[in-house]
Amino acid sequence: MSDLIQTEPCPCEIAQTVQRLRRHVLQQELSPGSILNVLEQWSAALDDRQLRHVSGIPFLRLWLRRGTLEPILLRELGPGALNGDWHENGHARLRPFPLGVVGHWPAANIEIQPILSLTCGLLGGNGCLVRVPGGLVEVTRLVMQKLWEVDRGGALIQRIAVVSFDHSRTDLHEAMARTVDGAMIWGGEEAVLRIRALPFAHWSRIAVFGPRLSVAAMDAGAWSNRKDRTAWCRRIARDVWQFDQQACSSPQTLFLERGSGCEPEEFVTDLRSAFQAENHSHPRTEIEPFRASAICQSRAAWLLASAENRAWFPHSPDWTILLGTGGDIPTPTQGRTLTVLLVDDLLEAVSRFDGAVQTLGLGVNDPRKDDALAQMAGRHGVDRVVRLGQMHVFGSPWDGVDLVRPMVRMVRHVRSQERETPLG
Amino acid sequence: MSDLANIEQSIEGLLALPPYAMPPGQRHDALLPLLKQELAYACECKPSFRNYVDHWPADFRTAQSIADLPYLPAAMFKGDPPLALIASSQVTRTLTSSATGSQVPSRVVLDSITARRLTKGIVTIIRNFIGPARRPYLVVDTKENLAAQNELGARAAAIQALFPFATEAVCCLGQDRWGDSTLNLETLLHWVEEWKSAEVLVYGFTHVLWTRLVQPLQSQNIRLHLPNVHVLHSGGWKRLEQTVTKKEFSQEIAAVFGCPPERVIDYYGMVENVGVVYPDCEYGNKHVPAFAEVVVRDPLTLAPTMPGQQGLVQTCSVLPTSFPGFLVLTDDMAEIIGTDGCGCGRRGTYFRFARRVPKAEVRGCGNLETTRVSAASGSDL
């Protein structure tokens, strides 16, 4: 158990590890059903007091359930995917096969991301080599330990290797890149650019997720409705709180459409209560000094910028609500700092988006407007349009890209001789 | 009497006192009402500042402690135009911080009365450490930095702030043909020869002193034999962090100048808190004068820390009335060592500087540094 995560391996050890994983993938085919069985058991094992402090564990448990993953496999890999069968496609038949070994470079800001990325590779039948950022080693170890406990036959654990090394170890990043057949890269701009530039083999398939930012929006009917407003505010708070608002799917700005006759301050009063309640349930236990300083700066900059701007915040950096007008997304502060902007027309605000926006979280009463906003968002680079409260629900496609499909090869078989169709 | 006149009178009263003699409680009682008056005055002068103060979670007028008053992050002084409480016609000088590379410098504006007061503040503090006498002053910088300018950088401001202690000033750095500053050895040795037994003053920015004077002299094995020198330096350790520790720095400087290490004095100061500097005492602590205060805030709660706990430094100064630099949250980390009773005999808060706030260590999938629009416009070049 001590070598669950190998720290600072040498380049040749990485090459040997990948060879071992590849050999295993070639020698032993694993049916999707058996993968799903182990993941289901892993999900159950994660219901552990030791893991309750880990942000995202409830979500990870849900993600690993058969009921979540089966529809994803069916949609991405087609009928027959659950049995590992070929499926007919005109004169041909199709079947997904693993790429081989997939290298995973998860971001450092989401505690469960190494596991999410890993499962995407496993579901395609691949061997997986995961490079875990230093700050996530302990959390990943705890979560992986549960897999080791349930996967007694070793069906999955023999396909997994987890390594950790400093981000500056270019030689080790290169050793991974040279030997893997596919890569799933997650993270900030600098990291993504650096990893994408590594010397991958020409056949390697690379899927990149991030960096992005996300936005919430509500029409007048939703935010002015006193009966439903409390629930909407709770959902927004939940989306803001998860991952300390540092995820690509975290809302940074909330657009409120004018036109209800209701004062925005009335809405903000409910939002403030929701923030206070969420903060009470999920208080911060640590913060980078840089982040605390940035939060103070965002409060001051907002209020000094215009005497019309308003804000609500406690003495601590726990949360911040900035209220103003305008359709441009301000530079995100993160750290539970939500900018609420009043606009005349949500469609006009969404029409200003570009590919930087990943998710649009909506609280909209008018279904036609919901559809129109999704249409507009899709045209302007947004990859996910979801209900408020579900902005972080990890699902396929993510960032407009399938999660399992990019790491499999869809093999097409056209038989050399026609078979007789059985009469029925 | 106008509000401003009242404020000015109170500031003058504090400046006239010995800087490190007031008991902490008495000092707090003197500073708190004055800072409240200054906040109210700033609110009258600047509606946007009022907007900030009005949104503070508690009303400053009822605050019981300096730590409860609304403070501004230092980054707010990076704006253009600078954050001012006076009309542009009243600005006599603009001070800029020593931001390097792509950093935006902080800028603060001074009118003549604030400028005079800030000089007085620094003189009061430095006098307490090196004595009141005027003496020959060696500037470890180029003479271009001695020239009076309307917009003055941090280096020039620090050099000029010590003029009240100088009978004459000589710069020992020149510029080579590429514009880099280099040691003018002849000037230096001549000055040393002339004043070798006298009480003298040397000042340089910390990294300039090290790279342009100490290292060249060490490489030529030259010692200066100035036992009565006071070597003052400021500007921070960022550029020397990987090169030398603070202790080694003082020892090496003392060895080069031929003086005891306690005559090498590092002081902490910043443009946003101009008029107040924090020299190290012989116990290695930085002391806060009667007209100022330092609060160290826990990043997690922003509440004041207990002594010994590191946090973000907030400076408090009653001196400026031309810009709202009364209460400034800096990007520096420090720890309060005590609120009174340092072995050196100076009273009031004393602290130790730790480091600059490190940049974000985790850059995740939500960290977008360039948008598609800005990336596209960049490629047009």
Which chain B residues have a beta carbon less than 8 Å from that of A315?
Answer: 57-58, 301-303
pLDDT of residue B102: 55
Using a CB-CB distance cutoff of 8 angstroms, which residues of chain B are in contact with residue A296? 73, 302, 329
Structure confidence at residue B239 (pLDDT): 78
State whether residue A304 sits within 8 Å of chain B by CB. yes
CA gap A329, A352 in Å, rounded: 9
Contacting residues of A for B57, CB less than 8 Å apart: 313-315
Residues of A in contact with B304 (CB under 8 A): none
pLDDT of the residue at B376: 46
pLDDT at B302 exceeding the cut of 90: yes
Overall average pLDDT of the B183-207 stretch: 92
SS (H, E, C) chain A: CCCCEEECCCHHHHHHHHHHHHHHHHHCCCCHHHHHHHHHHHHHHCCCHHHCCCCCHHHHHHHCCHHHHHHHHHHHHCCCCCCCCCEEECCEEEEEEECCEEEEECCCCCCCHHHHHHHHHHHCCCEEEEECCHHHHHHHHHHHHHHHHHCCCCCCHHHEEEEECCCCCHHHHHHHHHHCCEEEEECCHHHHHHHHCCCCCCCCEEEEECCCEEEEEECHHHHCCHHHHHHHHHHHHHHHHHHHHCCCCCEEEEEEECCCCCCHHHHHHHHHHHHHHHHHHCCCCCCCHHHHHHHHHHHHHHHHHCCCCEEECCCCCCCEEEEEECCCCCCCCCCCEEEEEEECCHHHHHCCCCCCEEEEEEECCCHHHHHHHHHHHHHCCCCEEEECCCCCCCCCCECCECCCHHHEEEEEECCCCCCCCCCC
CB atoms within 10 A of CB A152: 10
Pairwise CA distance, residues A270 & A252, whole Å: 18
Of A108, A289, A310, the CB nearest to B364: A108
Predicted ipTM of the assembly: 0.91
Provide the residue ranges of all domains of chain B, joining segments of one domain with +: 117-268
Reduce the DSSP state of residue B368 to 3 states and report it. coil
Minimum-distance CB partner of B366 among A133, A213, A288: A213
Predicted confidence at residue B244, as pLDDT, reads 84
> Is the Cβ pair B83, A304 closer than 8 Å?
yes
Q: Kindly indicate the confidence band of residue A207, based on its pLDDT and cuts at 50, 70 and 90.
A: very high
**A contact residues 117-146, partner B, Cβ 8 Å cutoff:** 133, 135
Cβ of A296 within 8 Å of Cβ of B371? The answer is no
Question: Is B365's CB within 8 Å of A186's CB?
Answer: yes
Determine whether the interchain pair B299/A186 forms a contact, defined as Cβ–Cβ distance below 8 Å: no
Confidence of residue B181 (pLDDT cuts 50, 70, 90): confident
How far A96 CA lies from chain B's nearest CA (Å)? 29
Cross-strand pairs, B19:
none
Considering only the beta carbons, identify the residue of A288, A305, A354 that sits closest to B360.
A288
Percent of chain B with pLDDT over 70: 93
Instruction: Determine which of A279, A315, A384, A399 to mutate to test the interface with B (most B C-beta atoms within 10 Å).
Output: A315
Q: Which of A109, A303, A305 sits opposite B365 (nearest CB)?
A: A109
From A40's Cα to the closest Cα of chain B, the distance in A is 27
Across all residues in chain B, what is the average pLDDT?
89
Residue in the structure block whose two tokens are 């604030």:
B114
CB contact under 8 A, B52 and A315: no
Q: How confident is the model at residue B197 (pLDDT cuts 50, 70, 90)?
A: confident
Structure tokens at A107: 């971001």
| Facing residue for B364 by CB, picked from A188, A286, A291 | A188
Residue B247's pLDDT band, with cuts at 50, 70 and 90, is: confident
pLDDT in tens, B69-114: 999 999 999 988 899 999 999 999 898 887 655 578 899 999 999 9
Q: In chain A, positions 58-117, which contact chain B (CB-CB < 8 Å)?
A: 107-110, 113
What pLDDT was estimated at residue A419?
66
Distance (Å, rounded) from C-alpha B377 to C-alpha B381?
A: 8
Q: Whose CA is closest to A45, among A31, A60, A55?
A: A60
CA angle, A224 then A227 then A232, to 5°: 70
pLDDT, one tens digit per residue, over A273-324 is: 999 999 999 999 999 999 999 999 999 999 999 999 999 999 999 999 999 9
Query: b/e string for B69-89 if b means 16 or more Cβ within 10 A?
Result: bbbbbbbbbbeeebbbbbeee
Strands A357-363 vs A384-387: parallel, antiparallel or unpaired: parallel
Long-range contacts of A376-382 (CB under 8 A, 24+ apart): A376/A347, A376/A350, A376/A351, A377/A350, A377/A353, A380/A350, A380/A351, A380/A352, A380/A353, A380/A354, A381/A353, A381/A354, A381/A355, A381/A356, A381/A357, A381/B372, A382/A350, A382/A353, A382/A357, A382/A358
Q: Which residue of A has its CA nearest to B84?
A: A304
pTM value is 0.90
Residues forming beta bridges with residue B200, ordered by sequence position: B229
Task: Give the pLDDT confidence score for residue B361 in this predicted structure.
Answer: 56
Residues of B in contact with A398 (CB under 8 A): none
Which of B55, B58, B333 faces A310 most closely, judged by CB atoms?
B55
Question: How close, in Å, is residue B269 to chain A by CA atoms?
Answer: 19
Q: Please give the distance of CA A297 from its chain centroid, rounded to a whole number.
A: 28
Least confident of A217-221, B95-99, B127-131, B180-184: B95-99
- Report the pLDDT value the prediction gives residue A109, as an integer from 0 to 100: 84
Structural domains in chain A, sorted by start = 5-210+399-413 (3.40.605.10), 213-387 (3.40.309.10)
**Nearest CA among A277, A283, A269, A274 for reference residue A316:** A283
CB A104 within 8 A of CB A78: no
**Tokens, residue A99:** 């790429």
pLDDT exceeds cutoff 50 at A1: no
For residue B214, pLDDT beyond 90: yes
pLDDT one-digit tens code per residue, A87-114: 998 899 999 999 999 999 999 888 999 9
What crossing angle do the helices spanning A137-150 and A113-123 adopt, rounded to 10°? 40
Across the interface, do A291 and B299 touch by the CB < 8 Å criterion?
yes
Distance between CA atoms of residues A303 and A284, nearest Å: 25
Within 8 A of A137 by CB-CB distance, chain B residues are none
pLDDT grade for B379, boundaries at 50, 70 and 90: very low
Q: Hey, are the CB atoms on A189 and B370 less than 8 Å from each other?
A: yes
In this prediction, residue B372 carries a pLDDT of: 54
Q: How far is A154 from chain B (nearest CA, A)?
A: 32
- Contact: A296, B329; criterion CB under 8 Å: yes
Closest alpha carbon within chain A to B50: A307
Q: Does residue A423 sit at the B interface (CB-CB below 8 Å)?
A: no
pLDDT in tens, B123-175: 999 999 999 999 999 999 998 777 666 667 888 888 888 999 999 999 999 98
Flag if A288 and B361 touch (Cβ within 8 Å).
yes
Per-residue confidence (pLDDT) for residue B180, from 0 to 100: 84
Residue B369, SS3 per DSSP: coil
Quote the pLDDT of residue B148. Answer: 61
- Collect all residues with Cβ–Cβ distance below 8 Å to A241 and sequence separation of at least 6: A278, A279, A282, A336
User: Which of A189, A284, A304 has its CB closest to that of B76?
Assistant: A304
B380 pLDDT band, cuts 50/70/90, is: very low
| Residues of chain A found within 8 Å of residue B373, distances taken between Cβ atoms | 354
- Whether B234 and B269 have beta carbons less than 8 Å apart is answered as yes
CATH fold of the domain at B117-268: Rossmann fold (3.40.50)
Strands B327-338 and B310-317: antiparallel
Question: A315 vs B302: CB contact, 8 Å cut-off?
Answer: yes
- Spatial distance between the Cα atoms of B114 and A168, rounded to a whole number of angstroms: 48
Which residues contact residue A199 at a Cβ distance below 8 angstroms, ignoring those fewer than 6 apart?
A174, A177, A178
- Is the peptide bond preceding residue A211 cis, with omega within 30 degrees of 0? yes
Give the closest-approach CA distance of A299 to chain B in angstroms: 8
Task: Count each helix (H run) and each strand (E run) in chain B, helices first.
Answer: 10, 16
Cα separation values, A71 from A59, A113, A156, A184, A395, Å: 17, 21, 21, 21, 10
Residue B100's pLDDT is what? 58
Q: Which of A274, A400, A402, A280 is nearest to A338 (CA)?
A: A274
- For chain A positions 160-199, those within 8 Å of chain B (CB to CB) are 186-191
Band of the pLDDT at A70, cuts 50, 70, 90? Answer: very high
Q: Testing the interface with B: which of A105, A253, A303 to mutate, by most B Cβ within 10 A?
A: A303
* A-B contacts at Cβ under 8 angstroms: 164
pLDDT band at residue B342 under the 50/70/90 scheme: very high
- Give the length of chain A: 424
- Is residue A3 within 8 A of residue A164, CB to CB? The reply is no
What is the arithmetic mean of pLDDT over A121-126? 96
What the block records as the tokens of A108 is 């450092």
Do the Cβ atoms of A290 and B360 come within 8 Å? yes
CA-derived radius of gyration, chain B: 22
Are A132 and A140 spatial neighbours (Cβ–Cβ below 8 Å)? yes
Q: What is the mean pLDDT of chain A?
A: 94
- Does any CB of chain B come closer than 8 Å to the CB of residue A213? yes
Facing B362 at nearest CB: one of A108, A209, A313: A108
Which residues of A, range 6-65, sit inside 8 Å of B by Cβ?
A: none
By C-alpha distance, which of A280, A289, A285 is closest to A237? A280
Q: Give the nearest partner residue to A296 out of B73, B358, B361, using CB atoms.
A: B73
Nearest chain A Cα distance for residue B302, angstroms:
5
Interior angle at CA B173, CA B168 and CA B178, nearest 5:
145
Please report where in the chains the tokens 């010995």 appear, as a residue: B18
Residue B369: band (very low, low, confident or very high) from pLDDT cuts 50, 70, 90:
low
Residues 6+ apart with CB under 8 A from B219: none
pLDDT at res. B381? 33
Name the residue facing A248 among B300, B301, B366 (closest C-beta): B366
